[in-house]
Structure 1
Amino acid sequence: MIRVALLSKWHVHAVDYAREASENPAIHISKVWDEDIERGKMWAEELGVPFDDDLEHVVSDPEIDGVIVTSPTNVHKEIILAAANHGKHIYTEKVLSFSKEDDEEIFSSMENAGVNFMISLPRLTSDYYLYAQRIIDDGVLGTVNMIRCRVAHNGAVSNENHPNGWLPDRFFDMDQCGGGTLIDLGAHPIYLANRLAGRPKAVSARLQSLMGRGVDDHSVATVEYESGILAVLESSFVSSGSPFQLEIYGTEGTLMVEGSEVRIKSSTHGMNEWTYPDLPASIHSPMQQWVGEILNQEEPTIKKDDALQLTAVNEAAALSHKHNKRITME
């Protein structure tokens, strides 16, 4: 049994992770901490567990084995370092931090402490990603040269119940979030493209604000990879009815994902009409993988490098927009 503390209800997915943890027989939610004391107390009461407003007390508690971090991103480093220094296993929402240097410090601390780490990059466990990766690895599309991926919603669009949109105001706090739509929703296209295309080498990005709320609410990043692949990665808080899209183009075929529909044209599947292939089963979720590594030493599929390269692309994209130029990666 892994006894965990939930660290903050700040993120919109905090409730989802608490639900998944409570439904996992290998996890016991033992405590809640939140930088917002009233919010934390209410959450702890809902979950029927104690609330503690002292972070150091929580992470030093010998009755706690691990932490689930869904705090503001700007305090990820502080919280994770504190937890790792007390030997707690770490599960965190993306992104890990705002800079690759901070990522490296976090990983150094966790490796020195010998704790297990997982970052929530759930689309790397999905059936369509697993199929796309297999198709690329098997050379079915020939030489892949272009990827386009889009994740968008209308969270900043006014509606009857929410004049500023349904996304919480705190998601427009530049200090806490480090950005807007690209660092949040854009994380999904970034980590998918990084996996499918290889190591990124340069980024050009525009982070635009339609609503003028202090962060980007619609963005695009063009990422150049060492493999020669170009990726166009889009995200938005101001798009209604926009489906998830993943497009992969090669010299011998095209793979299209729209919503849950996957279709392919290739020299082996036929070029005249779309084929709708059978997809592999999804694999264990990030949280299940975290538990499997802690309890059974099972190798997770989501790795340190996924977190590092996600941060690196976001950091380069922010610099590209700020300085209006292409940013090369170290």
Structure 2
Amino acid sequence: MINVALLSRWHVHADDYAKLAHENENVSIKLVWDENPERGKRWAEELGVPFRSHLESVLADPEIDAVIVDTPTNRHKEIILSAARHGKHIFTEKVLAFTVKDCEEIYETVRGNNVQLMVSLPRLTENYYLYAQDVVDQGLLGKLTTIRCRLAHNGAVPLEGKSTGWLPEHFFNKEECGGGALIDLGAHPIYLTNRLAGKADSVSARLLQTEGHDVDDNAVALIEYDSGALGVLETGFLSTGSPFQLELYGTEGTLLIEDQEIRMKSSKLNGEWVIPESLPEPHHSPFDQWVLAIVNNEPTTISESDVLGLTLINEASKISDEQGRRVATKEILNETTQIK
């Protein structure tokens, strides 16, 4: 049994991960810590477990095997490093950290202390992504030229009595979040496109503060990949009814995914639009992969390269927007960075 401590209810997905932990037969939630004691005590009462006010006592507790980190993103580095040094396995919400350098320091510490780290990048486990990857790997699209991926919602559209919409107000705190729509919701288009297109060469981005928040609520990033493909990544908190869209264009075909609707046209098949009769079986969720890695030392399908690549695009996008220029990824990377 993996005895888990929940570290903060700050993130909107914290309850989801608590539910996954509760439902997994290999996991037992033992206690809660939160940087906001009042919020943490309420959560602990709901879950029927103790609340601890001192993080160090949680991480030093020999009965705690692992932690689920849903703290403000600006606290990820210090907390995850400390957890790893105390020999705790770590599951955390994306992004891992604000810079590639900080991510590399975290992974070095994780490896040095022989613990399992998983960052939640759930769409890499979904059947539509696996289908898209199969299509690309089989060469059915020919040379991949463009990927467009859009994920947006209306979380920042003002509601009566709440100017920030249905998202929690702290999601607009630049210090805690490190950004807005791109670093949060835009993470999914980033890591999906990175996986499909390969290593990024340069980034140009615009991060708009349409509603006057301290962080972006509408953003677009244009990625140039070493493969020659372009990635057009769109996200935002101001789009009502916007579907998830993943579009792949190549010299021999096109693949269009809109929510659950999938169709493809390839000159290597019959040249007509086709709808797949079946999709690959989805992989285990990031959480379940983390548990299986701890229990059985099973390999995970979400890699260090995926996590570093996500932070790389965010870091380069921030520089691009602030300085109004195209940013080459080599400005950020060093020779040992583990991005494929």
Task: Tell me, yes or no, whether TM beats 0.5.
Answer: yes
Mapped partners of 2:266, 2:15: distance in 1: 42
The Cα shift of 1:162 comes to 3.8
Amino acid at match of 1:50: P
Query: Mean alpha-carbon deviation: is it higher for 273-282 or for 213-222?
Result: 273-282
Q: What is aligned with 2:337?
A: none
> Does the CA contact (< 8 Å) of 1:263 and 1:277 recur in 2?
no
Alignment of 1:212-223 (within 5 A): 212-223=212-223
Alignment of 1:61-140 (within 5 A): 61-140=61-140
Mapped partners of 1:313, 1:112: distance in 2: 26
Mapped partners of 1:27, 1:301: distance in 2: 21
Q: What is aligned with 2:174?
A: 174
2:317 matched to 1:324? no
The Cα shift of 1:274 comes to 3.9
Q: What is aligned with 2:270?
A: 270
How big is the alpha-carbon RMSD for the aligned residues of Structure 1 and Structure 2? 1.0
Query: Mean alpha-carbon deviation: is it higher for 258-267 or for 148-157?
Result: 258-267
> Does the CA contact (< 8 Å) of 2:266 and 2:272 recur in 1?
no
Give 3-state SS (helix, strand or coil) of 2:265's partner: strand
Give 3-state SS (helix, strand or coil) of 2:63's partner: coil
Mapped partners of 1:60, 1:164: distance in 2: 38
Q: What is aligned with 1:35?
A: 35
| 4+ aligned runs moved over 6 Å, structure 1 | none
The Cα shift of 1:271 comes to 2.8
The Cα shift of 1:210 comes to 1.1
Deviations 1:114-170 (A, max 9, x none): 101100000000000000001101101111110000010000002346443000010
Query: Mean alpha-carbon deviation: is it higher for 272-281 or for 197-206?
Result: 272-281
Mapped partners of 2:270, 2:35: distance in 1: 56
Amino acid at match of 1:180: G
Q: What is aligned with 2:338?
A: none
Alignment of 1:229-308 (within 5 A): 229-308=229-308
* TM-score normalised by the chain length of structure 1: 0.98
Deviations 1:228-249 (A, max 9, x none): 1100001000000000000000
Mapped partners of 1:63, 1:165: distance in 2: 41
Give 3-state SS (helix, strand or coil) of 1:84's partner: helix
> Does the CA contact (< 8 Å) of 1:254 and 1:265 recur in 2?
yes
Mapped partners of 2:277, 2:202: distance in 1: 33
The Cα shift of 1:209 comes to 1.2
Mapped partners of 1:270, 1:42: distance in 2: 59
Q: Which runs of 5+ in 1 are unaligned?
A: none
2:155 matched to 1:149? no
Amino acid at match of 2:319: L
Q: What is aligned with 2:225?
A: 225
Mapped partners of 1:208, 1:270: distance in 2: 43
* TM-score normalised by the chain length of structure 2: 0.95
Mapped partners of 2:157, 2:277: distance in 1: 36
Alignment of 1:202-213 (within 5 A): 202-213=202-213
Q: What is aligned with 2:333?
A: none
Amino acid at match of 1:197: A
Mapped partners of 1:307, 1:61: distance in 2: 28
Deviations 1:176-209 (A, max 9, x none): 0000000000000000011000011100000001
Mapped partners of 1:16, 1:179: distance in 2: 22
Amino acid at match of 2:120: S
Mapped partners of 1:318, 1:25: distance in 2: 41
Amino acid at match of 1:311: T
Alignment of 1:44-55 (within 5 A): 44-55=44-55
The Cα shift of 1:4 comes to 0.6
The Cα shift of 1:324 comes to 0.1
Q: Which runs of 5+ in 2 are unaligned?
A: 331-340
Aligned identity (percent) is 58
Deviations 1:29-53 (A, max 9, x none): 0110000000000000000011101
> Does the CA contact (< 8 Å) of 1:265 and 1:275 recur in 2?
no
